[in-house]
A and B are shown apart, each in its own frame.
Chain A
């Protein structure tokens, strides 16, 4: 059994960590947090130059052609650094959707631009409150144009193109949904920025008014693609969450060693130690579930749906737990704008919702476990 990343993959993780610690220190994250920039453009360019944006994109489409395990280790570092760039929407959602369903021409058009950092993409799925569901998709596609409203759309305000789920039928079945690529610079889409709890990653509202749209994949197969994209993105996002959880745990540990109260480091009090130990337990369980998700993703195994849901749930819980208790360990200082704790708290709770909330994935996991047990 070799249930671990290879030495080359670990080396890539080290490179990514070194790069991000230099190019994406908390100070850089705060530029976006404080609204001075919508995202870190220099970092985005740098990530492209490092080859990280196209790490899982095949060489023929301008990528590094490495694979999803490599993407997992980079994702962990992106989460750890709270990188304020549209990485997840472009790489986990838009690029994966095109890789799964795109024609050769669509792959040629968009993937090299993603890899080079010249195109930001996103997935426009949600239409207001609620979790992923074909029933919730009301945006219509008729005669090659889209009409309706999508929100929230991650990184929508800075995106160049979007993969959009739209209704092409009215049978009440999943096959009513199809996917489209919309060039957001081509007109017909009103884009409005929305405020959200994670100030380091934007959300937007799209209003389509006869917006020109190109089919992505066959008509009526949109929901099946969405499901696959969400599973893949769940694993990759889970790695981001584990990276964030680990960093929040480290911050709490370091503070507990440093802060003196009652004449001793607060880390010597069992109430604090036990809180940190429990954070370690959550983060460890999540990491192990993520490894299984990574294996399933990289081999495209039949276990992927179950593994993705488990990784997603475990990592969501771990990041929320670690981010919340990190503030608690810091006491009053943890509730200041000046300390970085709140940036992890914001991210942990925003990223918990982006692909569907915890209850959505819990529901999905039970369905998938039942399916497996029945088989």
Chain B
């Protein structure tokens, strides 16, 4: 048992570190280090533009999507090399946020199901950040039950014509391409009538509208499709096979090893170490210490769980299912920590000004944003289902709509 690199890993790390030292945009280092809790903002620069410049530089140096094959814009690196890269990239990794959906979900789906021509045309530009991709799965009436989606695609000659609406699309407003799942046959059970496509987000009939979220921000979008034409050559997988194709995407979504999940624990520890209560520092209060300790062991548990996964990768093994717990644990913890930090501030805990003493409004922001952590990318409840069914082997839910043709499933408004 040790934390050391193998000689090959150490060599790879040294090369990566040297390249980053010579090429990283150091002017943003401080600002990026300070932007914690998953919210990244640059005061005087556009996040996407800065991200694109860094991604392009990485691509030129052979460090973009480095686990992809070279012919598609990658480096042909091993999974463990990818993890080492992420560790070395450090705070600059935060700049990759606009590309994560493309790199983590759309790209792998195109890689698995696209034609050779499509792969050579789209993947290198996705890898280099020149073209940004978004994912068009969720709908207003199809969230956790994504296979219940309503957006229609109808065949007209060599093309498909799409009508409908998607929602919760991160980055749709700056994306060039989208991965779209649509219903091509409403007369068969819901999982069997779906087909996967990709499309140019600038196509006529595509309208992107930002969603004003509960925390007051606008990070997600609604995307409307009105008679949008997609060539059949942009279909991924067979007609009716969209559900299987989507599983490639979603499996990649949940492979978050080495990902940078915020837990809120370092911020809370710092906060309690400095907050003066009536009887002294918060961190000297037994009740505070008890809560802090419970959160600290969850955060360290997550950290060492990811180390176990990294160790498996290092040995060339597939990591076990342990890593599926990350978002489930950290989402709820962020929310609890925010609530408790504000409790310690008393009545002033409701103030959100960034000039407020102590925590600069960060816990208030965390409180308002944390509900999304427990919903996006699989709700806490769906994640528990996944653990129960795939890890513990418990039976799936009884699905009353399993064998019913989609257009006969009772829904609100039908």
Give me the interface of A with B, judged by CB distance under 8 Å.
1-6, 69, 249, 253, 256-257, 264-265, 267-268, 270, 272-274, 276-278, 280-281, 284-286, 288-289, 291-292, 294-295, 298, 309-310, 313-314, 317, 359, 361-363, 365-366, 369-370, 373
Inter-subunit contact A268/B395 (CB<8 Å): yes
Inter-subunit contact A289/B297 (CB<8 Å): yes
* With A69-B1, A278-B384, A291-B1: A313-B293 Cβ-Cβ less than 8 Å: yes
* With A285-B325, A288-B322, A291-B304: A273-B294 Cβ-Cβ less than 8 Å: no
Inter-subunit contact A363/B289 (CB<8 Å): yes
Instruction: For the complex formed, measure the closest distance between the CB of A289 and the CB atoms of chain B, giving whole angstroms.
Output: 5
Inter-subunit contact A1/B307 (CB<8 Å): yes
Inter-subunit contact A284/B322 (CB<8 Å): yes
Inter-subunit contact B385/A270 (CB<8 Å): yes
Inter-subunit contact B3/A1 (CB<8 Å): yes
* With A270-B385, A288-B304: A277-B392 Cβ-Cβ less than 8 Å: yes
Inter-subunit contact A1/B311 (CB<8 Å): yes
Contact of B297 among A272, A278, A285, A291 (CB under 8 A): A285
Q: How long is the Cα–Cα vector from A328 to B259 in the complex, in angstroms?
A: 35
Inter-subunit contact B296/A365 (CB<8 Å): yes
Query: Chain B contacts of A359 at CB under 8 A?
Result: 286, 290
* With A292-B304, A366-B289: A270-B1 Cβ-Cβ less than 8 Å: no
Q: Which residue of A lies closest to B3 (CB)?
A: A1
Inter-subunit contact A277/B387 (CB<8 Å): yes
Query: Chain B contacts of A270 at CB under 8 A?
Result: 381, 384-385, 397
Q: How long is the Cα–Cα vector from A69 to B294 in the complex, in angstroms?
A: 25
Instruction: For the complex formed, measure the closest distance between the CB of A232 and the CB atoms of chain B, giving whole angstroms.
Output: 16
* With A2-B314, A276-B388, A288-B305: A366-B2 Cβ-Cβ less than 8 Å: no
Give me the interface of B with A, judged by CB distance under 8 Å.
1-5, 9, 269, 273, 283, 286, 289-290, 292-294, 296-298, 300-305, 307-308, 310-312, 314-315, 322, 325, 328-329, 381, 383-385, 387-389, 391-398
Instruction: For the complex formed, measure the closest distance between the CB of A72 and the CB atoms of chain B, giving whole angstroms.
Output: 10
Instruction: For the complex formed, measure the closest distance between the CB of B394 and the CB atoms of chain A, giving whole angstroms.
Output: 4
Q: How long is the Cα–Cα vector from A310 to B392 in the complex, in angstroms?
A: 26
Q: How long is the Cα–Cα vector from A291 to B293 in the complex, in angstroms?
A: 18
Inter-subunit contact B3/A3 (CB<8 Å): yes
Inter-subunit contact A281/B329 (CB<8 Å): yes
Q: How long is the Cα–Cα vector from A365 to B299 in the complex, in angstroms?
A: 13
Inter-subunit contact A370/B398 (CB<8 Å): no
Query: Chain B contacts of A288 at CB under 8 A?
Result: 300-305, 307-308, 322
Q: How long is the Cα–Cα vector from A5 to B311 in the complex, in angstroms?
A: 10
Q: How long is the Cα–Cα vector from A24 to B169 in the complex, in angstroms?
A: 56
Instruction: For the complex formed, measure the closest distance between the CB of B327 and the CB atoms of chain A, giving whole angstroms.
Output: 11
Q: How long is the Cα–Cα vector from A47 to B301 in the complex, in angstroms?
A: 31
Inter-subunit contact B1/A276 (CB<8 Å): no
Query: Chain A contacts of B393 at CB under 8 A?
Result: 253, 257
Query: Chain A contacts of B395 at CB under 8 A?
Result: 257, 264-265, 267-268
Q: How long is the Cα–Cα vector from A2 to B312 in the complex, in angstroms?
A: 8
Contact of B394 among A276, A278, A286, A291 (CB under 8 A): A276
* With A277-B387, A285-B329: A264-B398 Cβ-Cβ less than 8 Å: yes
Instruction: For the complex formed, measure the closest distance between the CB of A288 and the CB atoms of chain B, giving whole angstroms.
Output: 4
Inter-subunit contact B5/A277 (CB<8 Å): no
Query: Chain B contacts of A264 at CB under 8 A?
Result: 395, 398
Q: How long is the Cα–Cα vector from A277 to B322 in the complex, in angstroms?
A: 11
The CB with the most chain A CB atoms within 10 A, among B296, B302, B328, is that of B296
Instruction: For the complex formed, measure the closest distance between the CB of A242 and the CB atoms of chain B, giving whole angstroms.
Output: 11
Inter-subunit contact A366/B293 (CB<8 Å): yes
The CB with the most chain A CB atoms within 10 A, among B273, B292, B305, B312, is that of B305
Inter-subunit contact A2/B296 (CB<8 Å): no
Query: Chain A contacts of B387 at CB under 8 A?
Result: 277, 280-281
Instruction: For the complex formed, measure the closest distance between the CB of B179 and the CB atoms of chain A, giving whole angstroms.
Output: 29
Q: How long is the Cα–Cα vector from A4 to B313 in the complex, in angstroms?
A: 12
Shortest 6 CB-CB contacts between residues of A and residues of B: A285-B301, A362-B293, A273-B388, A288-B304, A277-B384, A277-B387
Query: Chain A contacts of B290 at CB under 8 A?
Result: 359, 362-363
Known: A284-B305, A362-B290. 19 other contacts (CB 8 A): A2-B1, A3-B310, A6-B1, A264-B398, A265-B394, A267-B394, A270-B384, A272-B394, A276-B388, A276-B394, A281-B328, A288-B307, A289-B297, A289-B304, A317-B294, A359-B290, A363-B286, A373-B269, A373-B273
Q: How long is the Cα–Cα vector from A288 to B392 in the complex, in angstroms?
A: 18
Contact of B269 among A256, A362, A369 (CB under 8 A): A369
Inter-subunit contact B1/A273 (CB<8 Å): no
Query: Chain B contacts of A274 at CB under 8 A?
Result: 381, 384-385, 388
Q: How long is the Cα–Cα vector from A288 to B305 in the complex, in angstroms?
A: 5
* With A1-B310, A274-B388: A362-B289 Cβ-Cβ less than 8 Å: yes
Q: How long is the Cα–Cα vector from A265 to B395 in the complex, in angstroms?
A: 8
Query: Chain A contacts of B292 at CB under 8 A?
Result: 362, 366
Q: How long is the Cα–Cα vector from A158 to B407 in the complex, in angstroms?
A: 73
Query: Chain B contacts of A366 at CB under 8 A?
Result: 283, 289, 292-293, 296
Query: Chain B contacts of A365 at CB under 8 A?
Result: 293, 296-297
Inter-subunit contact A1/B388 (CB<8 Å): no
The CB with the most chain B CB atoms within 10 A, among A5, A268, A317, is that of A268
Q: Which residue of B lies closest to A291 (CB)?
A: B304
What are 7 A-B pairs with beta-carbon distances under 8 A?
A: A1-B2, A1-B9, A2-B311, A280-B325, A286-B301, A295-B3, A310-B300
Contact of A370 among B5, B283, B314, B389 (CB under 8 A): B283
Query: Chain A contacts of B304 at CB under 8 A?
Result: 3, 288-289, 291-292
Q: Which residue of A lies closest to B303 (CB)?
A: A288
Inter-subunit contact B1/A268 (CB<8 Å): no
Query: Chain A contacts of B325 at CB under 8 A?
Result: 280-281, 284-285
* With A1-B314, A277-B384, A295-B1: A268-B300 Cβ-Cβ less than 8 Å: no
Query: Chain B contacts of A253 at CB under 8 A?
Result: 392-394
Q: How long is the Cα–Cα vector from A370 to B288 in the complex, in angstroms?
A: 14
Inter-subunit contact A268/B398 (CB<8 Å): yes
Query: Chain B contacts of A6 at CB under 8 A?
Result: 1
Q: Which residue of A lies closest to B266 (CB)?
A: A373
Instruction: For the complex formed, measure the closest distance between the CB of A228 and the CB atoms of chain B, giving whole angstroms.
Output: 20
Inter-subunit contact B392/A291 (CB<8 Å): no
Inter-subunit contact B2/A295 (CB<8 Å): yes
Inter-subunit contact B302/A285 (CB<8 Å): yes
Inter-subunit contact A1/B5 (CB<8 Å): yes
Q: How long is the Cα–Cα vector from A6 to B298 in the complex, in angstroms?
A: 25
Q: How long is the Cα–Cα vector from A2 to B80 in the complex, in angstroms?
A: 12
Q: How long is the Cα–Cα vector from A276 to B308 in the complex, in angstroms?
A: 22
